[in-house]
Amino acid sequence: MVSRLFLSLAFLLMSTATFAHGADQHVLGTVTAIDEGRIEVKTPKGAAVSVKLTKQTRFKAKGNPKSTEPPTVGDRVVIEATRDEKDKKVLTATDVHYSAAKHAPVAAR
């Protein structure tokens, strides 16, 4: 009886967490190109993914969550995006979380 209760509770919690997550897609990787309308990301597996940017897209820099500046080429990103209703191949970014690329120190002369 206790095991059935535990199992039922576990399934209930898992389904709630899945439902709360929504239909967002996540794109992780390194920025290879960015302009006003799109961001190109190279994933850890080597795939290139293009994500549409809109005026509603929010940018959040690591260590400075109030930043509204977009990332630059070389920055690491995690993009929360939604699929277009008409064209399922198009991803539109809602949030872009990023951290600046670590630059190598300049050697002293």
pLDDT at 17 over 60: no
pLDDT at 20 over 70: no
In a domain, 106, yes or no: no
| Residue 85 confidence class, pLDDT cut points 50, 70, 90 | confident
In a domain, 51, yes or no: yes
In a domain, 41, yes or no: yes
In a domain, 86, yes or no: yes
**Position with higher pLDDT, 89 vs 20:** 89
Torsion of CA 91, 99, 46, 42, to 10 degrees: 40
Res 66: pLDDT = 80
> Which domain, by its residues, includes 70?
23-99
Q: What angle do CA 18, 23, 28 make, to 5 degrees?
A: 95
**Position with higher pLDDT, 15 vs 38:** 38
Interval 32-84: pLDDT, tens: 999 999 999 999 999 999 999 999 999 999 888 788 899 999 999 999 999 98
Give the chain's domain count: 1
What single letter denotes the amino acid at residue 51? V
Q: Which residues contact 95 (CB under 8 A, 6 or more apart)?
A: 57, 58, 59, 60, 79, 80
Res 53: pLDDT = 96
In a domain, 18, yes or no: no
pLDDT at 12 over 80: no
Residue 92: give its domain's CATH number.
2.40.50.320
In a domain, 1, yes or no: no
Res 68: pLDDT = 84
In a domain, 5, yes or no: no
In a domain, 65, yes or no: yes
